[in-house]
Amino acid sequence: MKNNGNKFLTNDILKSSIVEAFKKLNPKYMMKNPVMFVVEVGTVVAFLLTLMPNLFGNDGSGNIRIYNAAVTIILFITILFANFAESVAEGRGKAQADTLKKTRKDTMARLIDKDGNEKMISSSELKKGDVVLVNAGEVIPNDGEVIEGLASVDESAITGESAPVVRESGGDFASVTGGTTVVSDWLKIKITTNPGESFLDKMISLVEGASRQKTPNEIALNTVLVSLTLIFMIVLITLYPMANYTGVQIPVSTMIALLVCLIPTTIGGLLSAIGIAGMDRVTRFNVIAMSGKAVESCGDVDTMILDKTGTITYGNRLAADFIPVANIEKEELINFATLSSLKDDTPEGKSTVTLAKDMNCNVEKLEELAEGAEFIEFSAQTRMSGLDLTNGVKIRKGAFDSIKEYVRNLGGEIPSDLDEKVNEIAKLGGTPLVVVADNKIYGLIYLKDTVKPGLVERFERLREIGIKTIMCTGDNPLTAATIAKEAGVDGFIAECKPEDKIEAIKREQSEGKIVAMTGDGTNDAPALAQADVGLAMNSGTTSAKEAANMVDLDSDPTKILEVVEIGKQLLITRGALTTFSIANDVAKYFAIIPAIFTVAIPQMEMLDIMNLATPFSAVLSALIFNAIIIPCLIPLAMKGVKYRPMSAQKLLLRNVIVFGGGGVIVPFIGIKLIDLLIAPLLMIIGL
């Protein structure tokens, strides 16, 4: 599923987009985009004027016929470019859908009936509630929940990641996706979807755009564009008799050209493409959005609810410090702690060795000392692990109570400050591992749930754009406060229960805020449903994925941070291109208005600051620029405006300066250059 290829336009997409651009000329389809529908109607009228120049009583000379034909062709190209922009966006989604369809296979499933007998049937015949057995090397036939067994599952067909993941019955890792492959062992799976309703089917439908509906912001902006179009149509209707009154006879094709240049055709042609491209960017990031509204809501997020474990911290407690007891030298403690961990492949063991290296411990020398030693694995009964050296020294590290009992059985003494230092670590939310060599306790390894690197900076970026972060954790308030301060979140909820998350979301929403959160378990489902943006992990339970409006195929809880930034980018792109579109109309006014009225009102010539050659070249230059600016902006609409964290005020100022100012300057330059190119040609044909 993951597509790291960022090639904007492939040959296949180009060909299909050109074909689709012509298909979309159907008036029934064009009416969905009122701005471009007005352009299409204008094209038809200009075409009729080309065939019958005196249709509305205008001059029917050969020259005006050529002018009408030029206007018709330019308007037609304008519509094609707008349709092409939308088709390119849809084509990228369809290309992804085709890749996913290759993944979908009609496999054979081993159905288990009520009597426990196996029956081979097609996966397309499976119904919700059926139980199937999937052995190593077999494809999981449909979405389901593991009810028995434990196995490694290759999900690369869906996520693009080659490393298998473990799926087992019970807990939050029981959900499996149809189309993935069991690598080892076996799984007994209860099917949770009917044919055609699987997660893969939904993904295909979403990326194809079949389920895409216009978002609230898109509808609102479309309403504004329609209103502007109506206003300019009224202006034009009143302008025509006013021109006649002043003795200016304006060709109808020029009036059409003026209307097309007045209405916001640029953003009208790109609006749909921007929305489709926003969903496409999220999908390419390996997140499936259940609707365009979900992506758009990401851009409006005010508050983010985050779980501590797995999101803010690694979840695995890692060694953070060595704390000696009594009069023991810290170097002695580090040496014995390292020896006990050299053959320990757990995160705790590996992090202990890493910490020792960071403290300049000579690990190579200790590895030589440990050659031939017997490794004692951790067990639930002993709650300790360690090493028996060849010289007879027995080193152990483990839980406080277990080590105390172990030392007493060997006749050793318990240091007087051991209890105090164990309690200090516990108060900080850490885990103390006691280190002992033979019957002598040397100190403690302080294990803590480590904050993921880079999160402080990312939370700072979110703070810059006005997003508040709240950490939820089951830890006590003291531990929660410590982690919250270290991570840089704005607030925390300690000893948090599932209902506390819902309460926190409702409290923020009651203040008019948009809330996002992540989750993977069944107990997260209510909160995911309540949140405006609920990002469920693909590794999570079916109920969590059904409750959320976005699913992360990589099951990375921190991805919510990037998803919010993609949503912001969608809104910024739409706002930037709208600003540019409205601003570049200014230059068109200075091109066409003077061209129309200068003959009757010589004073209007002072508005012709571009000094365009003739009235006809002025109108055609403005129209040509209006057409070619649409395909020029397609790459920006597809890739999005580069996102930079900043306040709303700074963002507005940047948009006004960069896209507003650019929208005014670029057309002046573009129209003048086009005029210089076409004016000689128009002189040859007598226009």
Give the Cα separation of 142 and 226 in Å (integer).
45
pLDDT of residue 394: 94
Average pLDDT, stretch 87-101? 69
> Do the annotations mark residue 382 as ligand-binding?
yes
First to last CA, the chain: 56
- In the structure encoding, which two tokens stand for residue 511, read together? 């203040």
Give the Cα separation of 90 and 29 in Å (integer).
15
Give the Cα separation of 265 and 83 in Å (integer).
12
pLDDT of residue 41: 93
Burial class (CB in 10 A: 0-12, 13-18, 19+), 103: middle
Give the Cα separation of 395 and 392 in Å (integer).
10
pLDDT of residue 213: 57
Dihedral angle over CA of 182, 183, 185, 187, nearest 10: -10
Residue 457, SS3?
A: helix
Q: Is the pLDDT reported for residue 407 higher than 70? A: yes
pLDDT of residue 607: 74
Residue 415, SS3?
A: coil
Question: One of 154, 201, 280, 307 is an active-site residue; which one?
Answer: 307
- In the structure encoding, which two tokens stand for residue 542, read together? 């079916």
- In the structure encoding, which two tokens stand for residue 46, read together? 């200009």
> Do the annotations mark residue 378 as ligand-binding?
yes
Give the Cα separation of 129 and 112 in Å (integer).
11
> Do the annotations mark residue 569 as ligand-binding?
no
List of residues 6+ apart from 197 with CB closer than 8 A: none
> Do the annotations mark residue 36 as ligand-binding?
no
pLDDT tens digits, one per residue of 267-299: 888 887 787 777 777 777 778 777 667 777 888
Residue 11 has phi, psi (to 5 degrees) of -60, -40
pLDDT tens digits, one per residue of 411-452: 999 999 999 998 888 777 688 899 999 999 999 999 887 788
pLDDT of residue 161: 56
Give the Cα separation of 488 and 304 in Å (integer).
13
> Do the annotations mark residue 520 as ligand-binding?
yes
Q: Is the pLDDT reported for residue 225 higher than 60? A: yes
Q: Is the pLDDT reported for residue 184 higher than 90? A: no
Lowest pLDDT segment from 205-214, 488-497, 673-682: 205-214
β-pair type (303-307, 468-472): parallel
- In the structure encoding, which two tokens stand for residue 435, read together? 């280190």
pLDDT tens digits, one per residue of 572-612: 888 888 888 888 877 787 777 777 776 667 767 777 778 88
The answer to whether residue 438 is catalytic is: no
Helices (H), 285-344: 292-299, 330-341
Residue 154, SS3?
A: strand
pLDDT of residue 39: 92
Mean pLDDT of the chain: 82
Q: What's the chain's length in residues?
A: 687
CATH numbers and ranges of domains, the chain: 11-95+207-283+564-685 (no CATH), 127-194 (2.70.150.10), 291-312+452-553 (3.40.50.1000), 326-433 (3.40.1110.10)
> Do the annotations mark residue 383 as ligand-binding?
yes
pLDDT tens digits, one per residue of 542-551: 777 778 888 8
pLDDT of residue 356: 94
- Work out the pLDDT band at 47, boundaries 50, 70, 90: very high
DSSP for 593-645, written as a single string: HHHHHTTT-GGGGGG-TT--S-HHHHHHHHHHHHHHHHHHHHHHHHH-PPP--
pLDDT of residue 211: 45
